[in-house]
């Protein structure tokens, strides 16, 4: 199948497919933030070590990892090579491409070979590729094969309509009204499909929107935490900072510095406060 046709077939299910680089040197470290998508990380060389932030005993080693929807930050460490392929799937995409509902993966990390045995070959095959176009084509081909096996397991139009309603309003009750169902029915649908509550899903969406605005502002050199908070639906900057600490394990300014998105002196740090791990 030509590349354009592969991309079109996968578009409803794949949100992101890109190379990643954790930095120069023999080891890379990355903070994985809460997400409303299912993510797959495939290193080119050595395996990944992942631990939920604040829980050192949770550290595990994976050749390639699948992470479900989660509301807590994680720490990813990769040694022996810091590059690879990263992709994110919409919740219906997890079932359509991997054959596993997103609800079965919620709050968890697992090896790709255990979740989708037919894709167990990807790490070794990717390591042999010499260019990004070849790596992308290899991953897309594996996803297309998965779609052929599991297309009937997408969750149907009901789940997609439910997620669209939740993303289009900030209140669960309003989403239920738009869908013409009870709040209880909405909650049951979301829990069965995603493994989180409707309120938690909206919380993830708001956090991701705020993260996108924060990154865009940092790249434009116009970071204003108050403006990001207001545009993302938070009551004020303090509310935004508390929520960011709870979900990212650090303040927004600390995260921007750690990601290299702002100079170390450009945003004053807030007073120290507690952080929340997984």
For position 45, what pLDDT does the model report?
78
pLDDT interval class at 156 (50, 70, 90): low
pLDDT interval class at 273 (50, 70, 90): very low
Mean pLDDT confidence for 116-123: 94
Higher pLDDT, 153 or 278: 153
State the Cα–Cα distance between residues 138 and 146, nearest whole angstrom. 13
Burial grade of 137 (CB within 10 A; 0-12, 13-18, 19 or more):
middle
Give Cα separations from 48 to 84, 135, 165, 171, 196 (angstroms).
Answer: 10, 19, 36, 38, 26
State the Cα–Cα distance between residues 210 and 234, nearest whole angstrom. 9
pTM confidence score: 0.88
Higher pLDDT, 44 or 195: 195
**47-51, 70-74, 93-97: which has the minimum mean pLDDT?**
47-51
Burial grade of 166 (CB within 10 A; 0-12, 13-18, 19 or more):
buried
State the Cα–Cα distance between residues 64 and 49, nearest whole angstrom. 10
């Amino acid at each position: 199948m030509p590349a354009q046709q592969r991309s079109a077939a996968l578009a409803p299910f794949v949100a992101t497919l890109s190379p990643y680089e954790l930095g120069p040197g023999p080891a890379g470290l990355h903070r994985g933030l809460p997400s409303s998508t299912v993510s797959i990380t495939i290193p080119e060389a050595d395996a990944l070590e992942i631990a939920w932030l604040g829980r050192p005993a949770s550290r595990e080693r994976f050749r390639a990892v699948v992470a479900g929807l989660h509301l807590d930050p994680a720490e990813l460490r990769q040694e022996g090579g810091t590059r690879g392929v990263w992709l994110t799937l919409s919740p219906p995409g997890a079932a359509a491409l991997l054959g596993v509902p997103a609800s079965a993966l919620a709050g968890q990390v697992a090896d790709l070979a255990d979740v989708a045995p037919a894709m167990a070959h990807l790490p070794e095959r990717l390591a042999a590729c010499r260019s990004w176009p070849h790596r992308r084509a290899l991953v897309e081909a594996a996803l297309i094969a998965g779609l052929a096996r599991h297309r009937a397991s997408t969750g149907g139009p009901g789940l997609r309509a439910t997620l669209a309603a939740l993303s289009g309003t900030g209140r669960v009750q309003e989403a239920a009204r738009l869908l013409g169902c009870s709040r209880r029915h909405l909650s049951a649908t979301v829990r069965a499909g995603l493994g989180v509550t409707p309120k938690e899903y909206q919380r993830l969406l708001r956090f991701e929107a705020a993260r996108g605005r924060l990154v865009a502002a940092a790249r434009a050199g116009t970071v204003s935490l108050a403006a990001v908070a207001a545009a993302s639906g938070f009551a004020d900057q303090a509310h935004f900072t508390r929520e960011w600490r709870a979900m990212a394990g650090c303040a927004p300014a600390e995260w921007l510095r750690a990601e290299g998105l702002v100079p170390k002196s450009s945003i004053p740090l807030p007073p120290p406060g507690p952080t929340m791990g997984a």
